[in-house]
Structure 1
Amino acid sequence: MDQELNQKIDAFIAANREQLLDDIAALVAINSVETAPAEGAPFGEGARAALDKALELAGKMGLATHNCEGYIGYAELPGADPDKYLATICHVDVVPAGEGWEADPFTMRRQDGWILGRGVMDDKGPMVVTLYALKFLKEMGVQLRYPIRALAGTNEETGMKDVEYYLAHNKAPAFCFTPDAEFPVCNGEKGHFHGKLVSPVCKGKILSFTGGVANNAVPDRASALVDADIVGLKNAPNITLEPENGGVRVRGWGKSGHAASPEGTVNAIGLVVDYLLANDLCTEEERKYLEALHKLHSSTAGEGLGIATSDGPFGPLTIIGGRIYMEDGRMVQTMDSRYPTSTNGEVIAQAIRNAIGDGAALEDVDAADPFYIEADTPAILACIDTYNQVTGKNEKPFTMGGGTYARHFPYAVSFGPESHDLVLPSFGGPMHGANESAPVDALLQSIKIYILALLRLEEIDF
């Protein structure tokens, strides 16, 4: 590594540390969960406000900015080649805060070298980090071969229509990386399968059933109001019972996490389902539906639904139930599956229908195939070599179940800044969970990694 360049980067990071954290806090302060569209705000006013803030921050750094009709925006550094450009892409929308926070999720907190708040890691913190990488290149007067755009999306969590709009109106970058996953480099993502298990109109003992805040997050709490007498009901682990309006509120208390990595989570909906079944708090028609839900919640590997499978590049399929709610007298359970190359959406859908029988209907199905880019391509090597050089490690690219913007581009990967061996503090939570947290030192180190990786990418003949 060029020692003079290394020293300049270190000095830049030290000088900008406090402002960077303040900028992340300014983005976190905006509740950018998707809401109803408004004029100039296709994914709601919160997402648009976060986009405006990101572009405002970039403008203050002296970067040229462009807003693509509220769908997406970018900050840009010019380059000599007008026909090709490099890009980074982050998102400024977030999943709902949910419950279980120890403080306001939209007021960023600092504690023992960590920052906490919705979006600090997914993906507002990395968004600000990429802007500072461009800020360094601008301040150093680096003459770029390819222009570099730092894209700021607004719909990653709920559909990625933002990047679809961008690519419909702009040429794709020669190469793009998204700081929305783990280091070192993710060069493949599992396929995605989504659907809903919908009950008949039962008009039985279950008066309401609610749980979860996002389709792609394991819920840590859920509850059902049932027409029953609390007297005689048995206690159960992670279940509480409360009398309510002549009935009983059955609450489940689980452990949240991301749908892409559900290992170690406890789905609160599944806890309530099993309690209702075990205590006969349902009619026969409701029982059939709950038994279908039990098959879903019994295994995050899909064994209960008969869809379990695995392959070499990606490992096992995963599936979770994210939200449950009642609509027009029916119970609706959303599902989120990440699957390897050894199956496909049609096979998964048919297996689920076979498993649930007439207990539920499978509706609103959609699927996207896995994507994979060979690890020895020049741009991926530039990213992995930079990471290993900065950290002193000898890591290899990996695949994952998470879905990022990378799958929408012809040549792209996800590239940090999370870490697979990161141990969360007792006061901190994961992405999509309560008390979402990020280590400050890791975010700062990622600035150096991104600066050096972009400089290496500039040397490649695309």
Structure 2
Amino acid sequence: MSRNWEKINRQIDTFIEKNQNEIIENVCRLVRIPSVEKKGCTTYPYGVKCAEALDFCAELAKEKGLIVDNYDYYGLEIRLQKEQSGKRLLFAAHVDVVPASEGNLYPPFQGIVDKGYLIGRGVVDDKAPLIALLYALAFLKEEEPIPMNDIRLFVGSHEETDMEDLKYYLQRAGQPEFGIAADDDFPITNGEKSVLKFQLRGKETIDGVKELLQKDSTGEVFGLSVIDPVCGRSRCKVTEEIDEMTKERILCCDLRLPSSETLDEAEKKIRAFAEKQGLEMTVLRLDQGYWISEEEEIPSLLVELYHKLTTLEDRPYIMEGCTYARHFKQGCGFGAGQQGEKKPFPEGHGSAHGPDEAQNIQVLLRALKLDILAALAIDELWSK
């Protein structure tokens, strides 16, 4: 199957022009739902507001003629039609957000448009990219012919915490042939470092160990200072907390390792160090990273598509942050941000998780076009 790409580009541009105002309004409406995780809710796994945000997306998808399945309010699956064949391409984004920062110049949950930007908590991470993906599926549903392969969107509600939402979904729906997380910058994120978060407790040696760790930014004291030719250097950060119950001092460590390193072996080395120092170690999080070569077929296709559309020379990159992409057997990150973008706000404002998250509207609309083109290009690749 060979598509008329010139015609498709015109159709996409017409679709975006027709729907631009509606897209902006729906991003703002979603931002107005303060979908921060709420523990202890007996009705919904992540609280009423996360459930409300999922319901909003479900209703919007149904308005566009898309098929929606609710996975017990862990997340939604949105697809083009009831029965789909072929290989499965799964896009993924999320409605949950981190709590509002201090020092906002704009109200965090009002969904404001200013200076050519959408502003509010979660607009960058990940509500605007999510709405773009939903409209990408709406385009694919509306235009003929519908893709021959199985293109779906997962809408999660616990990405910011432990990603148990996606794990719950994948256990029931199965792994896609390829997964794309829309939670990064273009052109692609082709890797994420592994995460090992842990605590160290102990009375006599805590000061000495704290001093050692504050001088060590790479994990060398644990025997874990690593330089990987692909994923870069390991990194370790330490902070101190006080246990409110026992008043005991706790060292909280955040170790990021190249995905080539084995987390079990890393944990053993840290436990050996802790035992030698007379400290108690408690693991808080073990999360394996991933890496996929930018030369592989789909990553290479996505990068080429981005460079062709934008004429920008941004390169694939590996990051220390965590997205849904690490839970796919094969996948990567694809947008919706622009590397190195200078936003018209004070320093420290405008980025994900910071005050006054701000999404450039034109970058978002371009991301929508890229999402559509990516889905169609992968569909064509798989249909040969």
TM bracket, shorter-chain basis: 0.7 to 0.9
SS in 2 for 1:102: coil
Does structure 1 conserve the Cα–Cα contact (< 8 Å) formed by 2:197 and 2:283?
yes
Which residue of 332, 335, 343 corresponds with 2:253? Answer: 335
Does structure 1 conserve the Cα–Cα contact (< 8 Å) formed by 2:259 and 2:291?
no
Change (3 A) 1:358 1:125: same
Does structure 1 conserve the Cα–Cα contact (< 8 Å) formed by 2:197 and 2:284?
yes
Shift of 1:64: 1.4
The structure that is helix-richer by fraction is 2
Higher alpha-carbon deviation: 98-107 or 174-183:
98-107
Map of 1:61 onto structure 2: 64
Q: How does 1:219-238 map to 2 (within 5 A)?
A: none
Does structure 2 conserve the Cα–Cα contact (< 8 Å) formed by 1:191 and 1:370?
yes
CA distance in 1, matches of 2:350, 2:209: 31
Shift of 1:349: 6.1
Map of 2:330 onto structure 1: 411
Map of 2:297 onto structure 1: 378
Aligned AA (2:337): E
Higher alpha-carbon deviation: 293-302 or 136-145:
293-302
CA distance in 1, matches of 2:215, 2:25: 43
Change (3 A) 1:381 1:149: same
Q: How does 1:301-320 map to 2 (within 5 A)?
A: 301-302=218-219, 307-320=224-237
Does structure 2 conserve the Cα–Cα contact (< 8 Å) formed by 1:79 and 1:145?
no
Does structure 1 conserve the Cα–Cα contact (< 8 Å) formed by 2:199 and 2:250?
yes
Change (3 A) 1:324 1:34: farther
Map of 2:321 onto structure 1: 402
Percent identity reads 31
Which whole-Å deviations, capped at 9, do the CAs of 1:249-280 have from their partners, x for residues lacking one? xxxxxxxxxxxxxxxxxxxxxxxxxxxxxxxx
Does structure 1 conserve the Cα–Cα contact (< 8 Å) formed by 2:28 and 2:118?
no
CA distance in 2, matches of 1:196, 1:116: 36
- For structure 2, list consecutive stretches of 5 or more residues without a partner in the other structure: none
Shift of 1:81: 4.9
Change (3 A) 1:16 1:171: same
Shift of 1:295: 4.5
CA distance in 2, matches of 1:88, 1:40: 27
CA distance in 2, matches of 1:67, 1:420: 34
Aligned AA (1:410): K
Aligned AA (1:312): P
| Alignment length (residue pairs) | 376
Change (3 A) 1:382 1:438: same
Determine if the alignment matches structure 1 residue 434 to structure 2 residue 351. no
Which residue of 363, 367, 378 corresponds with 1:446? Answer: 367
Does structure 1 conserve the Cα–Cα contact (< 8 Å) formed by 2:38 and 2:48?
yes
Which residue of 422, 428, 431 corresponds with 2:341? Answer: 422
CA distance in 1, matches of 2:147, 2:83: 6
CA distance in 1, matches of 2:165, 2:242: 27
- For structure 1, list consecutive stretches of 5 or more residues without a partner in the other structure: 201-284
Change (3 A) 1:327 1:359: farther
CA distance in 1, matches of 2:23, 2:239: 33
Does structure 2 conserve the Cα–Cα contact (< 8 Å) formed by 1:78 and 1:144?
no
Higher alpha-carbon deviation: 412-421 or 395-404:
395-404
Does structure 1 conserve the Cα–Cα contact (< 8 Å) formed by 2:183 and 2:335?
yes
CA distance in 2, matches of 1:291, 1:394: 47
Aligned AA (2:171): A
Which residue of 97, 110, 128 corresponds with 1:125? Answer: 128
Higher alpha-carbon deviation: 422-431 or 148-157:
422-431
Which whole-Å deviations, capped at 9, do the CAs of 1:329-377 have from their partners, x for residues lacking one? 2344543332115644333663486389758543124323332223233
Map of 1:244 onto structure 2: none
Does structure 1 conserve the Cα–Cα contact (< 8 Å) formed by 2:66 and 2:81?
no
Determine if the alignment matches structure 1 residue 28 to structure 2 residue 31. yes
Which residue of 299, 306, 312 corresponds with 1:393? Answer: 312
Determine if the alignment matches structure 1 residue 142 to structure 2 residue 60. no
Shift of 1:124: 0.9
Map of 2:75 onto structure 1: 72
Map of 1:84 onto structure 2: 87
Does structure 2 conserve the Cα–Cα contact (< 8 Å) formed by 1:338 and 1:402?
no
Determine if the alignment matches structure 1 residue 115 to structure 2 residue 83. no
Determine if the alignment matches structure 1 residue 174 to structure 2 residue 177. yes
SS in 2 for 1:327: coil
Map of 1:155 onto structure 2: 158
SS in 1 for 2:87: coil
CA distance in 2, matches of 1:296, 1:48: 41
Determine if the alignment matches structure 1 residue 362 to structure 2 residue 281. yes
Does structure 2 conserve the Cα–Cα contact (< 8 Å) formed by 1:292 and 1:356?
no
Change (3 A) 1:359 1:103: farther
CA distance in 2, matches of 1:121, 1:290: 40
Map of 1:455 onto structure 2: 376
Does structure 2 conserve the Cα–Cα contact (< 8 Å) formed by 1:319 and 1:337?
yes
CA distance in 2, matches of 1:143, 1:458: 10
